[in-house]
Amino acid sequence: MEAILDFVNSSGFVLFTQGDNWKCLIMLVIACGLLYLGIVKKFEPLLLVPIAFGMLITNLPGAEMYHEIFFAGGHIHWDLIGGAEVTQEFINGLHEVGVSDAVLATVTVGQSVSTGLIDILYLGVKLGVYPCLIFMGVGAMTDFGPLIANPKSLLLGAAAQLGIFMTFVGCNLSKIFTPAQAGSIGIIGGADGPTAIYGATKLAPELLGPIAVAAYSYMALVPVIQPPIMRLLTTAEERKIVMKPLRQVSHTEKVIFPIMVAVFVALLVPSAAPLIACLMLGNLFKECGAVERLSKTVQNELINIVTIFLGVSVGATATGRTFLSLQTIAIMVMGIVAFGFGTAGGVILAKIMNLFLKEKINPLIGSAGVSAVPMAARVSQVEGQKANPANFLLMHAMGPNVAGVIGSAIAAGVMISLFG
């Protein structure tokens, strides 16, 4: 009978009633909501589904698949992962650097914490491996031809990074976040999930869960967030502007481009080198024509496997103890502000450029400067055709869109250089 009682008391159903585990119930509801958006509404399902499932399993009391203490204070505690016992000195050190009491309460002095499955998977996030491999896959699936054919679109991609820097300023002024945390939150404005995760692991690992959820949730909502801003900032006549077809880009140009960008960016912003180098390596695989097998592997098997590991392990960081806070609400608010400024920055610069250009550009393509590839470009196409059914802006919008991928990685590198 005693054995049966011990079994019942150790079950997750009973653990829900103990301490602050009621927060886990709220997180389970949030996780189910994200699963609904990913599965039913098809909002970024390839990432939202694994992120939501990771959030689901990490908030089941007693599962013990992810332990925040291993990564508390922004560092990997290899000794604990290796089986070392928790010491009072260790707890005091974490308390001094601002680790929350809720996280410290998960362990006791003299305890040896068993490593869980997601603890191992999360090492790829913490060490910055997964975001870089995702970028390699993105590069292998990206055509930089529209950017090469119309270099002016690089300016629109750069202007769309306004959201990153405006959000950084706003977070700093709020006094809720440190400059490093403000920098990592600002990167949400680039509409680039892997870059946001990479920046958070370097600048504010304690905020990784909320930042990842905000970044991918708002990326999925690009078709909802952007159109009202685009219509507000443009006139009906501007939205009807028809652009000439882009010139044909040669094979040589497409091969030289990734090599040139990788070298230039690595020299300009060394902290952005890992992301940009992987992005351009993947693109080189695609364009050179000599390594088709590698190109297909990176586009399919590699990126799919890494996406699963990245999504589940990032979702697992969103525990009830740390996710349910005023900081999380502030991150969600600042995230949508970042998207708004990013969209507006590209559109406004396009309108300014039209004051000096003989061949006018449709300002709608400026909104594609946020690096949600290719969703933002598709939004520009849809809005353009609503104004003029004969308008085909997709390839024109892809120029700022892929420029935004490069721009957000550079902006993240700048933040890491300043506050990392």
Q: What is the pLDDT of residue 209?
A: 80
- Write down the residue that tokens 């690595």 correspond to: 266
Specify whether the CB–CB gap between 297 and 153 falls below 8 A: no
- Highest mean pLDDT: which of 25-29, 183-187, 198-202, 279-283? 279-283
Range with lowest mean pLDDT among 19-33, 226-240, 372-386: 19-33
In terms of phi and psi (left: phi > 0; alpha: psi -120 to 50; beta: otherwise), the region of 24 is alpha
User: In this structure, are 320 and 332 located in the same domain?
Assistant: yes
Q: pLDDT-based confidence at 140, cuts 50/70/90? A: very high
The token duo for 277 is 């180098």
Q: pLDDT-based confidence at 1, cuts 50/70/90? A: low
Cβ-Cβ contacts under 8 Å for 331 (sequence gap 6 or more): 185, 188, 207, 210, 211, 214
User: In this structure, are 99 and 194 located in the same domain?
Assistant: no
**Nearest-angstrom CA–CA distance, 282 and 138:** 7
**Nearest-angstrom CA–CA distance, 281 and 403:** 16
Q: Average per-residue pLDDT in the chain?
A: 89
Q: Which amino acid is at 101?
A: D
Encode 219-232: b = buried (16+ Cβ within 10 Å), e = exposed: bbbbeebbbebbee
Range of the domain at 43: 2-124
User: In this structure, are 17 and 137 located in the same domain?
Assistant: no
Q: Where are the alpha helices (DSSP H) in 145-302?
A: 145-149, 153-159, 162-174, 179-186, 193-203, 208-220, 222-233, 236-239, 251-268, 273-288, 292-297
User: In this structure, are 35 and 144 located in the same domain?
Assistant: no
Dmax over CA atoms of the chain, in Å, equals 87
Q: What is the pLDDT of residue 335?
A: 85
User: In this structure, are 24 and 171 located in the same domain?
Assistant: no
User: In this structure, are 59 and 186 located in the same domain?
Assistant: no
> CA nearest 158: which of 197, 190, 126?
190
DSSP designation for 324: S
Q: pLDDT-based confidence at 265, cuts 50/70/90? A: very high
Q: Which of 124, 156, 177 is the last residue of a domain?
A: 124
**pLDDT surpassing 90 at residue 249:** yes
**pLDDT surpassing 70 at residue 5:** no
DSSP designation for 71: G
- Write down the residue that tokens 């300014």 correspond to: 352
The token duo for 246 is 């882009």
User: In this structure, are 377 and 247 located in the same domain?
Assistant: yes
Range with lowest mean pLDDT among 75-79, 100-104, 337-341: 100-104
Q: What is the pLDDT of residue 354?
A: 93
Q: What is the pLDDT of residue 250?
A: 96
Q: What is the pLDDT of residue 347?
A: 95
Q: pLDDT-based confidence at 356, cuts 50/70/90? A: very high
Q: What is the pLDDT of residue 17?
A: 65
**pLDDT surpassing 70 at residue 2:** no
**pLDDT surpassing 90 at residue 337:** no
Mean per-residue pLDDT, 239-256: 94
Output 12 or 232, whichever has higher pLDDT: 232
> CA nearest 348: which of 377, 369, 379?
369
Q: pLDDT-based confidence at 410, cuts 50/70/90? A: very high
Task: Give the number of residues written for the chain.
Answer: 420
Mean per-residue pLDDT, 266-274: 93
The token duo for 308 is 């699963």
Q: pLDDT-based confidence at 65, cuts 50/70/90? A: confident
Q: What is the pLDDT of residue 286?
A: 96
User: In this structure, are 86 and 183 located in the same domain?
Assistant: no
Specify whether the CB–CB gap between 291 and 30 falls below 8 A: no
Q: What is the pLDDT of residue 11?
A: 65
Q: Which amino acid is at 35?
A: L
Mean per-residue pLDDT, 223-242: 92
User: In this structure, are 27 and 104 located in the same domain?
Assistant: yes
**pLDDT surpassing 90 at residue 227:** yes
Q: What is the pLDDT of residue 363?
A: 95
Q: Which of 96, 124, 152 is the last residue of a domain?
A: 124
- Write down the residue that tokens 């061949």 correspond to: 359
Q: pLDDT-based confidence at 205, cuts 50/70/90? A: confident
User: In this structure, are 6 and 45 located in the same domain?
Assistant: yes
User: In this structure, are 165 and 283 located in the same domain?
Assistant: yes
Mean per-residue pLDDT, 340-354: 93
Q: What is the pLDDT of residue 320?
A: 84
**pLDDT surpassing 90 at residue 371:** no
Q: Which of 78, 95, 124 is the last residue of a domain?
A: 124
User: In this structure, are 330 and 305 located in the same domain?
Assistant: yes
In Å, how far are 127, 212, 317, 380, 420 from 55, measured between CA atoms?
A: 20, 11, 7, 33, 27
How many structural domains compose the chain?
Answer: 2
